[in-house]
Amino acid sequence: GAGVSQTPSNKVTEKGKYVELRCDPISGHTALYWYRQSLGQGPEFLIYFQGTGAADDSGLPNDRFFAVRPEGSVSTLKIQRTERGDSAVYLCASSSTQNSYNEQFFGPGTRLTVL
Amino acid sequence: ILNVEQSPQSLHVQEGDSTNFTCSFPSSNFYALHWYRWETAKSPEALFVMTLNGDEKKKGRISATLNTKEGYSYLYIKGSQPEDSATYLCAFNTGGFKTIFGAGTRLFVKA
């Protein structure tokens, strides 16, 4: 079956603009995660969804960041008033609740560049 | 604050060399340790899930060991090939949904 997909693969925007990043998880996976990977660092947790609800959004850096998953499948990460420091690779991952060790399946990421 | 450290940060080897990297993690509240391989422009791919102290896992030329008491895991690659060039990430889980990643070891294998 299809893996996790993310669109766009690359996004270049100007400072102050609004962007949306999309994630299509593996069908049937109820858990969905967003991470941000900045240069030289590991993926940093942003938000976790279980079904439609955000079970933990403690990793979102500030109120410019917001994510939704209205039907419990596709998720959109929204960034308002982008800043140069938001430039990073945004990774999405999904997992099944049957996966007791929380093995996550990742998408290829969206590389966001804020000029 | 849970911290996962990986060393070295990057590594350049010749084709055919064997190599290894280290992942250090907190020795308390251990539940699972994951290794992922992340090639440029692709998705991070799961290599191993390690759960028990003393675990050894192997997949082809790649193997990993786990010491939960002292808080480290080693990843070994035997006879490195250019296609092994990637970033190798380890990730620590305490039993909940949250997984803490290390910064990765970037491996370059020269033909």
- Region A71-90: mean pLDDT is 96
Instruction: Say if residue A114's pLDDT is above 80.
Output: yes
CB contacts, 8 Å: B100 with chain A: 45
pLDDT at A53 over 70: yes
pLDDT, one tens digit for every residue, chain B (111 residues): 678 999 999 999 999 999 999 999 998 889 999 999 999 889 999 999 999 999 999 999 999 999 999 999 999 999 999 999 999 999 999 887 888 999 999 999 999
Which of B69, B67, B86 lies closest to B19 in space, CA to CA? Answer: B86
Average model confidence (pLDDT) across chain A = 93
- B74 neighbors B64 (Cβ within 8 angstroms): yes
Distance from CA of A103 to the nearest CA of B (A): 7
Please tell me the distance in Å from A106's CA to the nearest CA on chain B. 6
- Residues contacting residue B102 through CB under 8 Å, at least 6 positions apart: A42, B4, B5, B6, B23, B89, B90, B91, B92
Chain-chain contact of B97 with A101 (C-beta, under 8 angstroms)? no
Percentage helix, strand, coil for chain B under 3-state DSSP, each rounded to 5: 5, 55, 45
Element (H, E) at A24: strand A19-24
Question: From the list B31, B91, B97, which residue is nearest A48 (CB)?
Answer: B97
For position A22, what pLDDT does the model report?
Answer: 98
Whole-angstrom distance, CA of residue B50 vs CA of residue B105 = 18
Confidence of residue A98 (pLDDT cuts 50, 70, 90): low
CB pairs < 8 Å spanning A and B:
58
Q: Say what the pLDDT of residue B11 is.
A: 95
Substitution target from B99, B100, B105, B106 for chain A, most A beta carbons within 10 A: B99
